[in-house]
Amino acid sequence: MQLIKKTIETFISRIWYGQGVASRAAALLLSPLSIIYRSIADENKRKALANRVDDLPIKTIVIGNITAGGTGKTPLLIAVAKQLASKGWSPGIISRGHGGLYLKGEALATRVQLDSDPFWVGDEPVLIAQALQTMPVVVCPRRIEAVALLLKDTDCNIILSDDGLQHYALPRDIEVVLIDAARGFGNQKLLPAGPLREPIERLKDSDIVIFNGQPSPQLKATVAQYPLANYSISMAVDSLRSIDSSGLVSNDLSQLNRYSVIHLVAGIGHPERFFNAIHLLLSDNENAPEVIEHAYPDHHCYKESDLKFPQHDGNEAIVMTAKDAVKCAGFINNPLPLYAVDVSARFEPSDTALIDAICSQLVN
Q: Residue 334 has what pLDDT? A: 86
Residues in the chain: 364
| Distance from C-alpha of 52 to C-alpha of 169, rounded to nearest angstrom | 5
Q: Residue 353 has what pLDDT? A: 85
Q: What is the pLDDT of residues 187-240, one digit of tens each?
A: 999 999 999 999 999 999 999 999 999 999 999 999 999 988 889 999 998 889
More confident residue, 3 or 60: 60
Question: How many DSSP H helices and E strands does the chain contain?
Answer: 10, 13
Average pLDDT value for residue range 107-127: 95
What residue segments make up the domains of the chain, in order of their start? Answer: 2-234+347-362, 235-345
Residue 246 — very low, low, confident or very high, per pLDDT cuts 50/70/90?
Answer: low
Q: Residue 53 has what pLDDT? A: 87
Q: Is the pLDDT of residue 65 over 90?
A: yes
Yes or no: say if 326 and 299 are a contact pair by the CB < 8 Å rule: no
Residue 320 — very low, low, confident or very high, per pLDDT cuts 50/70/90?
Answer: very high
| Distance from C-alpha of 68 to C-alpha of 224, rounded to nearest angstrom | 21
Q: Is the pLDDT of residue 286 over 80?
A: no
Query: Counting beta carbons within 10 angstroms of the beta carbon of residue 129, is it exposed (0 to 12), middle (13 to 18) or buried (19 or more)?
Result: buried
Residue 95 forms beta bridges with which residues?
139, 162
Q: Is the pLDDT of residue 332 over 90?
A: no
Yes or no: say if 232 and 287 are a contact pair by the CB < 8 Å rule: no
| Distance from C-alpha of 12 to C-alpha of 41, rounded to nearest angstrom | 20
Q: Residue 333 has what pLDDT? A: 82
Q: Residue 94 has what pLDDT? A: 98
CATH fold of 2-234+347-362 reads: Rossmann fold (3.40.50)
| Distance from C-alpha of 307 to C-alpha of 303, rounded to nearest angstrom | 8
Q: Residue 180 has what pLDDT? A: 95
Yes or no: say if 311 and 210 are a contact pair by the CB < 8 Å rule: no
Cα angle, residue 329 at apex, residues 324 and 330 outer, rounded to 5°: 130
Residue 248 — very low, low, confident or very high, per pLDDT cuts 50/70/90?
Answer: low
What letter represents residue 205's amino acid? D
Q: What is the pLDDT of residues 297-306, one digit of tens each?
A: 899 999 999 9
Strands (E), the chain: 59-64, 91-95, 110-112, 137-139, 158-162, 174-180, 208-212, 229-242, 249-250, 261-266, 290-295, 316-321, 338-348
Q: What share of the chain is helix, strand, coil (3-state, %, to 5)?
A: 40, 25, 40
